[in-house]
Amino acid sequence: ARSPPPGLEGAQDWARDYAAANPSEAFELLFGRPSPETLPALVIPQLLSPEEVKQCFSAGSEVGSSIEPFATSSWLCAALRATPHDIGYSGEHVALYLHKGGCFQTKQPALCDKLLHSMRRQPGNWGDPALALQVRCIELHTYAVGGGLLEPGHRDNGSKLSMSVLLSDAATTGLEGGQIVTWSGGEPVVHELRRGDALLFHSGKAHNVATVTSGMRQSLVIELWVGPTNTKDRES
């Protein structure tokens, strides 16, 4: 048995219980396809160059400046109070919708095409390649110290494919912690990413982000779904 990063003990308990109660063979027999929990996540090394990482931040500045300035959020930690965001998941974790008004697609069309193409053209079982998928969301996530995604059984419900690209450089930001964790047979799979690396996974696969213990973690998260291209929040 492998121990998860600190703070994910509850998520591991959930993963073990789920694996015991949902044999992969039974899922495939019932639904006619493999369980997302049995399909491994894929690390795509250095998907983005340093220049392309800068373009992601540039898009964040563009979409952030196109709306009224955010009032100081007293419930946010001091490190995030000046960070543009559309949603706060905790006092140490916020996200900005880069797809808002089609901003990312319009401001960075070549980069957007590269990212979307990368999600649909990887080796392995990533669903029917003929199935049309559209952008549900493109988000810039920022985690301060103490931030993480620790919810047991967290999935990107409603989406088909998800990809997270690490934008932070540990060498310059002092980032420690914040690893993406998926689960295999109830045991943690800790993905140690470098700036520019991406993790692709089925949206129905449980995943977490370990608590950030030092520095700041920023990532670009894209989700694809069968709905129409979304240019608002996560649900429109």
How does the average pLDDT of the chain come out, rounded?
92
Output the pTM of the full model. Answer: 0.94
Q: Please state, in angstroms and as integers, the Cα–Cα distance from residue 128 to each residue in 37, 121, 124, 125, 133, following that order.
A: 17, 11, 11, 8, 10
Q: How far apart are CA 117 and CA 121, in angstroms?
A: 6
Chain-centroid distance of CA 46 in Å reads 16
The pLDDT value recorded for residue 70 is 54
145-195 per-position pLDDT tens digit = 999 999 999 999 999 999 999 999 999 999 999 999 999 999 999 999 999
Alpha helices in 148-190 (DSSP H): 170-173
Residue ranges, the chain, pLDDT below 50: 67-69
Q: Dig out the tokens for 6 from the structure.
A: 């600190």
